[in-house]
Amino acid sequence: MQVAVIGAGAAGLCAARHIMYSTANRATPTVFEKSNCIGGTWVFTPQTGKDERGEPVHSSMYLDLKTNLPKEVMAFPDFPFRNTDDSFLHHSKVLEYLEDYCRHYDLYKNIKFNTKIVNVEPIDKGGSGDVKENWNVQYKNMQTNEVHQDVFDAVLVCNGHYSEPRYPKIPGLEKFEGKVVHSHDFRYSQDFKDENIIILGAAASGTDIAVEISKHVNQVYLSHNNPLLPSKLPANVAQVRGIERCLSPNGFLLTDGSRVQCDSLILATGYNYDFPFLSEKCGISVENNQVKPLYKHFLNIEHPSMGLIGLCFRIMPCSFFDYQIRYFVKILMKEVDTPTKDEMYEDTEKEYNYRINTLGMREKDFHKMGDLQWDYNADIAKLANIQPLPPVIEKLYREVWSRRKIDLVQYKNDKYSIKDSDQFIVKHI
């Protein structure tokens, strides 16, 4: 059985590892990676916009980024971080970890570097009952521009979702004469030295950049319409309401009627899901930030030999990828029962109603997990008949987010260690 894996970031490497080692040699992964190295978004590059080949730069990593989760909960369940006592790591250490993972499981031999996926579409072989289709995968060698195609039994899409910036519509923005930078293209805090900055968006990227850039700039206005963050913030970081419109070459009107003047605007406004290589025949669409039709947020209901891994946000990524992929592999190997299409649609509709109608979540946040990830992980573990995550992981994660909520400036100095499956130790520095 041949499985195409699109992307050699954390999810793609995890997919290759489990296809190789969990199928008793009954399946072989081929990983397609557009760049010349593994790591996905964890590969820092000073480039923004387009790279030397004219391709959009994939990474959103900035020079001084440190993880906002500790390594103790970031790791793949069977592969802990090594050789560091720190819990919150510089992005270069995460890349080293992924490289160690790749070497440990001997994955490099299965990766086609400098290879861009051009088109993926199902080949219907007819029949009924079991899945009777293959996948035609077209790909281009980025060095020779030669286009090839192969047939695969299954496809795992692991191209990430932090590379296609979402730009808000700000009336009058054409008047603004300062820099306008999406967080995807933010690289160096020093580029804004001594400026007054407004950052639109106060989720993970917006708050992390605000704290980091405050060391180099005069004033930061953290602009958002959510309840005010209760956290301690640097003295030169002020929370203000969201942007209503641009008034002048250096001024913005906010939603509460107040005004601010600034030299640069940083848009921490999120990302779009983007699958330009999937043909319409794959049946995948994106509506209001929801990828459809998916069972358990990853399995293509119309073509269940395709999985889209790691679309959810506010998660512990590596373990989340790991559980989705292990479930997918078991489905592929027919080691677990697969629900019917009707059952998968019914389950998805039930979850949609629970999230939107019962919990009051916004439709565009359908793939947002947060506290919902624990029930989700347990559900996937049960469906896949695999060991659930130990309770200590959830406890540690909740502790970190509680600390982050009240002290965005200092929480990354904390150090954690896992004592056993139920307890952890924390040292506040």
pLDDT digits (tens, 9 = 90+) for 37-70: 999 999 999 999 999 999 999 999 999 999 999 9
Predicted pLDDT at 129: 44
Distance CA 5, CA 13 (A): 9
Distance CA 429, CA 409 (A): 12
Q: What are phi and psi of 215, to 5 degrees?
A: -70, -15
Q: What stretches in the chain show pLDDT beneath 50?
A: 127-131
Predicted pLDDT at 128: 46
Q: What is the DSSP letter of 31?
A: E
Is the CB of residue 197 less than 8 Å from the CB of residue 217?
yes
Distance CA 155, CA 163 (A): 21
Q: DSSP of 287-356, one letter per residue?
A: ETTEEESEETTTEESSSTTEEETT--BSS-HHHHHHHHHHHHHHHHTT-SPPPPHHHHHHHHHHHHHIII
Q: Is 173-267 a domain of CATH 3.90.190.20?
A: no
Distances (CA, A) of 299 to 23, 130, 291, 303, 328: 19, 16, 11, 8, 8
- Tell me the two tokens of residue 128: 């009924």
Distance CA 187, CA 64 (A): 8
Predicted pLDDT at 126: 56
- Tell me the two tokens of residue 267: 């848009």
Whole-model pTM: value is 0.96
Predicted pLDDT at 25: 85
Distance CA 266, CA 209 (A): 9
- Architecture in CATH of 2-163+271-384: 3-Layer(bba) Sandwich (3.50)
Helix (H, G, I), strand (E, B) or coil at 245: strand
Q: Which of 257, 201, 256, 254 is nearest to 226 (CA)?
A: 201
Q: DSSP of 112-171, one letter per residue?
A: E-SEEEEEEEEEE---SSS--EEEEEEEEETTT--EEEEEESEEEE---SSSSB-----T
Is the CB of residue 209 less than 8 Å from the CB of residue 183?
yes
Is the CB of residue 408 less than 8 Å from the CB of residue 232?
yes
Domain boundaries in the chain? 2-163+271-384, 173-267, 391-427
Q: Which of 274, 247, 76, 283 is nearest to 171 (CA)?
A: 247
Strands (E), 158-250: 179-182, 196-200, 219-223, 237-240, 243-248
Is the CB of residue 180 less than 8 Å from the CB of residue 173?
yes
Residues 6+ apart with CB under 8 A from 29: 3, 4, 5, 15, 16, 19, 20, 110
Is the CB of residue 205 less than 8 Å from the CB of residue 226?
no
Predicted pLDDT at 83: 83
Residue 89: left (phi > 0), alpha (psi -120 to 50), or beta?
beta
- Tell me the two tokens of residue 271: 């990302």
